[in-house]
Amino acid sequence: MTAKEILAQIKPLGTDGYKRVIFNHGVREPCYGVKIEELKKIQKRVKMDYPLALDLFDTGVYDAQYLAGLIADDAKMTAKDLQRWVSSPNCAAIAGTTVAWVAAGSPHGAAAALKWIDSKNEVEALAGWATLSSLVAITEDSDLDLPLLKRLLQRAEKSMLQAPDRVRYQMNGFVIAVGCYVAALTDAAIGAGTRLGQITCDMGNTACQVPFAPDYIRKVQARGTIGKKRKSAKC
């Protein structure tokens, strides 16, 4: 199956109503407005396909880029592939989800994330923080650099309030992810979130709200699931 054939399959599945919803979240043309549940049906048929994922992402179509992330063989993604993806997403939402998820599952995720968070490009920077969040969610603590994560928490606390809205949102997500998935740093994450206070961001024409990190982490504590890792960052 080719990217052209998949585009022909998914285009009729789009709806104007869903398209309006995701446009409120920053999605741009070209976009068909296909619901994720429909894209996942194609994912089940295709499973993993590294070259097809690259071809789909290169179309620039939002729906195709999201599907590309679902079928990407993360282990085969090169550092060059990831850089091309973070440099050409349809929108910031793709950078913060699809690109970050695939980067985290690749052998180059940590290096890419640390490079991206230093970028002056807002989309690259937010993708970097989102990748770090995904990495702590799927990587066993024994394989994580805990001193580095602690320094990144301190960096997030120091610079979050001065960061652009979309970067700030992902930095707040990083604090939450560390607190929820890395038990040894839960208290440090709660402390950082408490000192920062309620984070605000321009969420556009949506009802979305920015989670207050300490409250979110404590809810996970109450469920007894601090440190429980995910099998995949993708959803």
Q: How much is the mean pLDDT over the chain?
A: 97
Q: What's the pLDDT tens digit per position in 93-133? A: 999 999 999 999 999 999 999 999 999 999 999 999 999 99
C-alpha angle 129/174/162, rounded to 5°? 70
If one counts every other C-beta atom within 10 angstroms of the C-beta of residue 117, the result is 24
Q: Where in the chain are the domains? A: 107-235
What does the pLDDT read at residue 204? Answer: 87
Two tokens at 1? 């199956």
User: Binning pLDDT at 50, 70 and 90, where does residue 16 land?
Assistant: very high
pTM tops 0.75, yes or no: yes
What is the arithmetic mean of pLDDT over 157-177? 98
Question: What mean pLDDT comes out for the span 87-93?
Answer: 98
CB 168 within 8 A of CB 199: yes
CB half-sphere exposure, 159, CA atoms < 13 A? 16
CA neighbor of 194 nearest in space, from 213, 211, 209: 213
Q: Distances from the Cα of 23 to the Cαs of 64, 93, 204, in angstroms? A: 15, 10, 10
Distances (CA, A) of 156 to 37, 163, 215: 34, 9, 18
From CA 197, how far away is CA 194, in angstroms rounded? 5
**Would you say residue 67 has pLDDT above 90?**
yes
